[in-house]
Structure 1
């Protein structure tokens, strides 16, 4: 068996058996490395050498968590939750459909803006979701559906809208790799082709989200109200003063500007935290407590991202990604229909292991672009195949920041399991529709 296949299958199986994701990543990576012929010492060294990149991202998310807690101390998010809760009809038999759909649309809008207009990625989830859990509990909303809304909206946003993270994925990574590899084969692509190529795959993601909302998770689901998420609608919260509003908004704006200026979420979040602290949004003596609370909130994400970096490093070190794709190409022959399907499935499989579509494009491009050209696919179809193949599995991987972010927010009261409530629902609803629609796009374009 190919070592890549073995490692990813083992990782998925261990996660489904409720083994902690971090342990599943380490053990499956080491077993895959041993199967490929690496010694244990080589496998451990490779794993350790690749932890640095993940640790850098992990530290960033810890700082984002601290910034999120600092913003929560301002009272703005609690005020939003109170305003929504005050619209609820608490009488027996009340459906509150208007409040429910208002909340769902707000989550879709926040998810889209988090990738493009205000590119903070998953940072908005631990800020926005926990204060709203009481409202969701009252509405008996199935949090698995909420996880699908967050994952599908964020994925669709960066895969189609060419600003923020979308500009990075579509132009700086996808288009650049297609043109770099395709140059030797006389193929070139434009930004317009990228948007044309990704429309149908994104429609597949959005269809999956609609299925989750209107069919799979439409039935009410009950949760216990934790003390921190209990609705309090009898009396309003303490009014916010002008200073709180001005400095909180200023912190958000300055954090965004610094993030864009220095291309660093870490710097943006740190400066935003410092502004809120200096403005007295929370007591100066509480700085350590606020930071520690943010660390606890994002610790699982930081650890898993760090170990996922070691896992992906071992996948590369086995040198068996190329043989896996080459074996797929040999099986395909000159069958375009089969070729498109298998290229997408293999891409899905590899991205589940890496947990990051941005990292998967440079790995797949040197093999997928020549293969697509050989099979006779057009430049637009080639972009659709590569762009979708690398994105499949991003939502739905146990190590993906999207699923980890959804869990961080929805599990604030300990009632949302990462694997069964985030990973499996988002894998099914974000990937199946995208795979089918991307396959159709490759054959039509």
Structure 2
């Protein structure tokens, strides 16, 4: 029975690497698990759908945050950031990379727009990057850092959603943990990402790099310079962001925070009422996919629990690895790397990981915080280097606007090396000492 988990998860990984959409891959892997457990397709689907409800709150949070991101982008406030970067840092390669990492970090917690800022911020800077001979791999690393490290370490914005997803996944498998405990458990793995960023910026990609890609046609028309100045609309946008962040922190509800920010922008006429339908449609389009992936992944985890495959795997793991926490922690992190690399979403893998890690972790004698560390670190692993991840696709979409940036070699490989290796080492250490 324990092989059902292995076969279904490996099927999920193979389907994902074959570029089959993760939603379809999760469904196919669920059917494989069901058939191996002698369930009919109808019975399997019933269990999967029944288990999807646990992630409905997180899925709705994604969609409302997507709409809020579109509304913020509508105001054009990011163009001001571009102008200031060009004006103050045009001759400082390292500082401009660190500034981009800082801006990207704001997109997860303070101004939760996720990847929506990249197409607005990066393409206008590409010509400057070439003039400075700036290695775009450093920029890709900085962007991916900003898209991941803040939500791993800080329980606000997408970070709150990530930590609540871990909390929910653990609770569904019989282990309660507070948001504070989860945040503390992920500080050390997040520190590993900071180390990876500094190595990339100050060592690996410090030297000048000249791109010579003949035959590439620009994929965008270079925008005309516009004298964009800070105005009342931008000031009111900042007010809406503060309102959203305040409501979120007070209520600990991401949905309420995003809705408060949206309503503030509409009430203050920062975004006209007539644009409301477009804002919601674009928000659903941008974030709806991952919301549904999270729903189906919760159903997949429920199926593995229902057919008893998780319990059998726990027993087998105890027999093979025993209670050697050093060995068990390392094996679980490698498993997490493979699963998340295939799915390409740290959020979507949490229900699957929690279903595996909670019973195995308890059997091996890990503390609650150590198990939270293993789940959170494993979820973040692979997401950085996965070709199918928002954390890599987003940076590439901006850096390859002129056709000079390779997705795999210039984004995925650098981010995999500089973030996944430190995450394994620091996550392994945290799991052992907590």
Q: In the alignment, does 2:380 pair up with 1:388?
A: no
The answer for the alignment partner of 2:192 in structure 1 is 204
Deviations 1:248-278 (A, max 9, x none): 1211111122223333322222232222223
Deviations 1:386-445 (A, max 9, x none): 5135421334349x9x94365357537888999898777655543332223443555678
Cα distance, 1:422–1:282 mapped onto 2, change above 3 Å: same
Match of 1:269 among 241, 258, 263: 258
Structure 1: tracts of 5 or more residues without a match: 89-95, 374-378
The answer for the alignment partner of 1:64 in structure 2 is 65
Query: Is the CA contact 2:396–2:411 (under 8 Å) kept in the aligned structure 1?
Result: no
Q: In the alignment, does 2:91 pair up with 1:105?
A: no
SS at match of 2:365: helix
* Equivalent residue runs for 1:42-441 within 5 Å: 42-86=43-87, 96=90, 98=92, 100-113=93-106, 118=110, 120=112, 123-127=113-117, 130-136=120-126, 138-139=128-129, 146=139, 148-153=141-146, 155-157=148-150, 159-160=152-153, 195=184, 200-210=188-198, 213=201, 214-215=203-204, 225-227=218-220, 230-233=222-225, 235-237=226-228, 239-241=229-231, 243-333=232-322, 335=324, 337-348=326-337, 355-356=346-347, 359=351, 360-361=353-354, 364-372=357-365, 383-384=369-370, 387-397=373-383, 403-404=389-390, 407=393, 411=397, 426=415, 429-440=418-429
Looking at structure 2, the residues matched to 301 and 146 of structure 1 have their Cα atoms a distance apart, in angstroms, of 25
1:33: how far off? 2.4
Question: RMSD between aligned alpha carbons?
Answer: 4.5
Looking at structure 1, the residues matched to 280 and 158 of structure 2 have their Cα atoms a distance apart, in angstroms, of 27
Cα distance, 1:155–1:245 mapped onto 2, change above 3 Å: closer
Cα distance, 1:346–1:101 mapped onto 2, change above 3 Å: same
Query: Is the CA contact 2:79–2:120 (under 8 Å) kept in the aligned structure 1?
Result: no
Scaled by the length of structure 1, what TM-score is found? 0.73
Query: Is the CA contact 2:156–2:249 (under 8 Å) kept in the aligned structure 1?
Result: no
Cα distance, 1:224–1:104 mapped onto 2, change above 3 Å: farther
Query: Is the CA contact 1:201–1:434 (under 8 Å) kept in the aligned structure 2?
Result: yes
The number of residue pairs the alignment matches comes to: 414
Looking at structure 1, the residues matched to 406 and 305 of structure 2 have their Cα atoms a distance apart, in angstroms, of 30
Looking at structure 2, the residues matched to 343 and 364 of structure 1 have their Cα atoms a distance apart, in angstroms, of 7
Query: Is the CA contact 1:340–1:385 (under 8 Å) kept in the aligned structure 2?
Result: no
Cα distance, 1:129–1:264 mapped onto 2, change above 3 Å: farther
Looking at structure 1, the residues matched to 373 and 36 of structure 2 have their Cα atoms a distance apart, in angstroms, of 30
Looking at structure 2, the residues matched to 431 and 216 of structure 1 have their Cα atoms a distance apart, in angstroms, of 17
Query: Is the CA contact 1:325–1:346 (under 8 Å) kept in the aligned structure 2?
Result: no
Query: Is the CA contact 2:196–2:422 (under 8 Å) kept in the aligned structure 1?
Result: yes
SS at match of 1:18: coil
Query: Is the CA contact 1:393–1:431 (under 8 Å) kept in the aligned structure 2?
Result: no
Looking at structure 2, the residues matched to 419 and 305 of structure 1 have their Cα atoms a distance apart, in angstroms, of 25
Looking at structure 2, the residues matched to 444 and 56 of structure 1 have their Cα atoms a distance apart, in angstroms, of 33
Cα distance, 1:425–1:321 mapped onto 2, change above 3 Å: farther
Scaled by the length of structure 2, what TM-score is found? 0.74
1:79: how far off? 1.9
Query: Is the CA contact 2:37–2:307 (under 8 Å) kept in the aligned structure 1?
Result: yes
